């Protein structure tokens, strides 16, 4: 599961880059997804609300794990300038505020698919994107390069384990396929390499179809066919 450089196992920081891409990919899509739920359509509202709740739980845990495991070790590193720390803390607070607002709006919107709540939710999600982009970008540019000097592969793997555990069981297939898309062509091989053998085999066989099917279910469009069917 960990990247290797010669004989020495290094922390697999590339996995976090793909997870960041998943967050931006899914939150970016979520704005239109929410706006597309018609007034009173509680069935669609429930599907979208469940998706947002899953994403919120995952992003909250992502940041919590970083707060607990990464910052205490890196905050005094001379390579991290105080301005960067201040900026990242501010972004972090902004993200936490929006996630709190989303969490607050979700139950009532889910219950009645009220259009005013829908618009407030979509506006909140729209406001999340700049802070998320900036925060994850700073993390990748300034924090991840310091990780190999401060963490062993095993220590860093705890973050991945916590991240995986935060994905609700009902959303695991969706998130697996979303992660595959987020990996993109440049990180596709390393994405496959992290999957346990049986899951890798399944993904090779049906990954693109799984993405189409789970995405169409979320978006309320027609199913792209059974997951088990061969992928053309």
| CA of residue 38 relative to chain centroid, distance | 26
Residues with Cβ within 8 Å of 169's Cβ and at least 6 positions away in sequence, in order, are: none
Size of the site for Fe ion (CB under 5 A): 1
| Choices 72-80, 124-132, 137-145, 183-191 (CB under 5 A): range interacting with Fe ion | 137-145
Distance CA 119, CA 47 (A): 17
Nearest approach in angstroms of CB 3 to Fe ion is 16
Nearest approach in angstroms of CB 146 to Fe ion is 13
Nearest approach in angstroms of CB 176 to Fe ion is 19
| Choices 31-39, 83-91, 135-143, 193-201 (CB under 5 A): range interacting with Fe ion | 135-143
Q: Of 92, 122, 164, 163, nearest to 28 (Cα)?
A: 122
Q: 126 vs 140, which CB is nearer to Fe ion?
A: 140
| Choices 46-54, 131-139, 165-173, 193-201 (CB under 5 A): range interacting with Fe ion | 131-139
Nearest approach in angstroms of CB 84 to Fe ion is 15
CB 10 within 8 A of CB 118: no
Nearest approach in angstroms of CB 193 to Fe ion is 20
Q: 33 vs 132, which CB is nearer to Fe ion?
A: 132
| CA of residue 30 relative to chain centroid, distance | 12
Q: 15 vs 139, which CB is nearer to Fe ion?
A: 139
3-state helix, strand, coil in the chain (%, to 5): 80, 0, 20
Q: Residue 24: in which H helix or E strand, if any?
A: helix 14-35
Beta bridge partners of 4: 9
**Residues at the interface with Fe ion (CB under 5 A):** 139
């Amino acid at each position: 599961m960990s990247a290797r450089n010669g004989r020495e196992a290094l922390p697999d920081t590339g996995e976090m880059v793909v997870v960041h891409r998943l967050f931006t990919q899914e939150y970016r899509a979520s704005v239109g997804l929410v706006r597309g739920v018609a007034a009173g359509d509680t069935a669609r509202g429930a599907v979208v609300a469940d998706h947002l709740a899953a994403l919120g739980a995952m992003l909250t845990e992502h940041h919590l794990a970083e707060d607990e495991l990464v910052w205490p070790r890196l905050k005094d590193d001379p390579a991290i300038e105080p301005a960067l720390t201040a900026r990242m803390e501010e972004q972090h607070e902004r993200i936490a505020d929006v996630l709190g607002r989303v969490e607050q709006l979700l139950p009532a919107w889910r219950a009645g698919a009220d259009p005013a709540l829908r618009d407030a939710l979509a506006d909140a999600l729209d406001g999340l994107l700049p802070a998320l982009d900036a925060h994850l970008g700073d993390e990748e540019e300034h924090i991840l390069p310091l990780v190999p000097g401060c963490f062993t592969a095993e220590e860093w793997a705890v973050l991945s384990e916590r991240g995986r555990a935060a994905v609700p069981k009902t959303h695991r297939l969706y998130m697996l396929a979303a992660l595959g898309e987020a990996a993109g062509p440049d990180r596709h091989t390393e994405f496959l390499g992290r999957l346990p053998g049986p899951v890798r085999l399944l993904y090779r066989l049906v990954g693109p179809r799984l993405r189409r099917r789970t995405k169409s279910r979320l978006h309320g469009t027609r199913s792209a066919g059974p997951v088990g069917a061969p992928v053309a």
